[in-house]
Chains A and B, each alone.
Chain A
Amino acid sequence: MKSGLLILGALALAALAAPIASAALGHDPFLPDLFNRFAPPSAAHPLGTDELGRDVLLRLLHGARVSLAVGLAAAMAATVVGTAAGLLAAWKGGWVDAALMRLADGMLALPALPLLVILAALDPAAIGLPRGEALSDMIRIAGLLALFGWVGVARLVRAGALSVLARDFVRAARAMGVGEGRILRRHVLPELAAPIAIATALAVGGAVLAESTLSFLGLGIAPPAPSWGNMLANAQEVAFQAPLVALWPGLAILLAVLGCNLVADAISRKRR
């Protein structure tokens, strides 16, 4: 638990510290400097510079904001929707349950990435988002990932909720006239907190990875906003020229996913 939280905490701190680091190093990570392309690491540029002469470290820090925000937003949205759907299915039962679970089964069996490619190529303007701006890119990608992410959470929550709802203390509470909403809030949800937390932690890591894959396919966050995904995708084009430039965003993604997994592992070990 500690090491996982430590990693994630460090990454979050790094993301928050991006503007401070910009000020400390004294350059703008968005301003190209054509005379300083692919500079090796130095005091001024601790990790060197990229293909436009911008500081790699600072871009990594700013990229952390975008990547982690996308990961968190996607995971949160998936968790909220999935928990709601799972609870509803378990609580209502009957055709609501059947319909929701058929939908979940159907979604689970679909190949996500080919569908994401089709969805990502849709016109964001058709659903009222401005095209090609960083924020709308982030919302779009987080939304798409949540669209496929809620299913796993919903199945998990439904299974858990069913077993809790069948227990004696729930029946006792019902007999005492406790409202249904209160039962779900006070009795069912707390029991499910751990598995939901595990699923969310894993989903954050998964979303960070998925963002990099979409960037590789040219459907991710658009420049000039840096994200780990588009930095890595850009770097692979110059992989032979400047292999180090590809190393850092790759490591950052690795660390983030690692942190999420360690946290998830720790929670599940604690429960046992």
Chain B
Amino acid sequence: MAGALILRRLAQIAVTTAILSLCAFLLIGLMPGDPIDLAIAGDPRLSAEDAARMRALHGLDQPLLARYLAWAQSVLGGNFGHSRLFAQPVSALLGPALLSTLELLGLALLLAVGAGVGLGALAALRPRWSGPVQALALAAQAMPTFWLGLLLIILFAVTLGWLPAGGAEGGWRFLLLPVVTLAFANLAAYTRHSAAALTAALAEPHIRTARAKGASEARVLWRHAWPNAAVPVIAVAALDAGALVSGALVTETVFARPGMGKLIFDAVMGSDFNLALLALLVVAVVTMLATLAADLIQRWLDPRLA
């Protein structure tokens, strides 16, 4: 049953990816200005013959659909092509960037869910705290990510000098501010949903039974109420995977942190279409797989959904 479901979803992902690749390729073909035009603008010494020669060298004189088919064929054959912007094979660039982004995303997700559930529990157990928690969630939602990132840099890197202002030389010190920035932007949904779900769960009859039996508050919360409340929280996580990736793009730009988001942005801005396209597809596939994983966990936690 679950196997068939997974297979069907994987097939869907493959089809979506194929359609997306065609759409994106055609769209990118609509972008004005090919890289040769840019090279001419950057170097006054290039002549007309140079331009024609370079266009032929890059296959830019072929019609768009022919270029797509040639591209798709070579990608399926495992040849991801070459990035003009970084003069590297695309495959060599995608690996490290994806790892770095996944590291950022994973930690930010953990932090957002952890803090969100914690705050939600606080609001559910102590109604007095409900107001401030809601206010914090609202603020988190309403604050532009890049602005928050900059404020954190000014405070912790420039004024206090505790943490680096950006970059990624490795080590958790470089991760802290980006992770906090990204987590904060995604905090609101988790806080709200876990507060609502826990409040609802705590009102169930079996909780009253547990309390009557003398279970501690912590035990009541985590052993009895949380399993029921976890399902909607994970549903939010599944729906938010795309938003998280979007936030990563901004975070990586503010903190000059190499990763998929920044790679896509640089590639688009630098007319490195090959890299932009593949990076976009990789990000889309990873997002869809994450959504699938969240769905499966949800089903596993709540058999009624299956």
Complex CA–CA separation, A126 to B28 (angstroms): 12
Is B4 in the interface zone, CB < 8 Å from A? no
A residues less than 8 Å from B12 (CB atoms): 102, 105-106
A residues less than 8 Å from B261 (CB atoms): 113-114
A residues less than 8 Å from B147 (CB atoms): 212, 232, 236, 246, 250
B250 touches A117 (CB 8 A): no
How far, in Å, is A12 (CB) from chain B's closest CB? 17
Is B85 in the interface zone, CB < 8 Å from A? no
Residues facing A in B236-270 (CB within 8 A) are 239, 241-243, 245-247, 249-250, 253, 260-261, 264-265, 268-269
A residues less than 8 Å from B276 (CB atoms): 118
How many chain A residues touch B (CB < 8 A): the figure is 42
B284 touches A119 (CB 8 A): no
B residues less than 8 Å from A28 (CB atoms): none
Is B93 in the interface zone, CB < 8 Å from A? no
Q: Is the interface of B mostly helix, strand, loop or mixed?
A: helix
A residues less than 8 Å from B265 (CB atoms): 114, 117, 217
B268 touches A121 (CB 8 A): yes
A residues less than 8 Å from B247 (CB atoms): 113
A residues less than 8 Å from B239 (CB atoms): 108
Complex CA–CA separation, A143 to B293 (angstroms): 31
Is A257 in the interface zone, CB < 8 Å from B? yes
Is A213 in the interface zone, CB < 8 Å from B? yes
B142 touches A114 (CB 8 A): no
A114 touches B16 (CB 8 A): no
Is B207 in the interface zone, CB < 8 Å from A? no
How many chain B residues touch A (CB < 8 A): the figure is 46
Complex CA–CA separation, A110 to B24 (angstroms): 12
New A-B pairs, 19, CB < 8 Å, besides A212-B146, A257-B141, A258-B142: A106-B12, A109-B291, A111-B246, A111-B283, A112-B242, A113-B246, A114-B261, A117-B249, A117-B265, A118-B268, A119-B27, A122-B27, A217-B253, A253-B144, A254-B139, A254-B143, A255-B142, A261-B141, A261-B142
25 contacts between A and B (CB under 8 A): A102-B12, A108-B291, A109-B241, A110-B287, A110-B288, A111-B287, A112-B243, A112-B246, A113-B246, A113-B261, A114-B279, A114-B283, A119-B27, A123-B30, A212-B147, A216-B250, A232-B144, A236-B147, A239-B150, A246-B147, A250-B143, A250-B144, A254-B143, A255-B142, A261-B141
Top 9 closest pairs, chain A to chain B, by CB: A113-B246, A257-B142, A111-B245, A109-B288, A123-B32, A106-B16, A216-B146, A254-B142, A114-B264
Chain B residues close to A by CB (< 8 Å): 12, 16, 19-20, 24, 27-28, 30-32, 138-139, 141-147, 150, 154, 158, 239, 241-243, 245-247, 249-250, 253, 260-261, 264-265, 268-269, 276, 279-280, 283-284, 287-288, 291
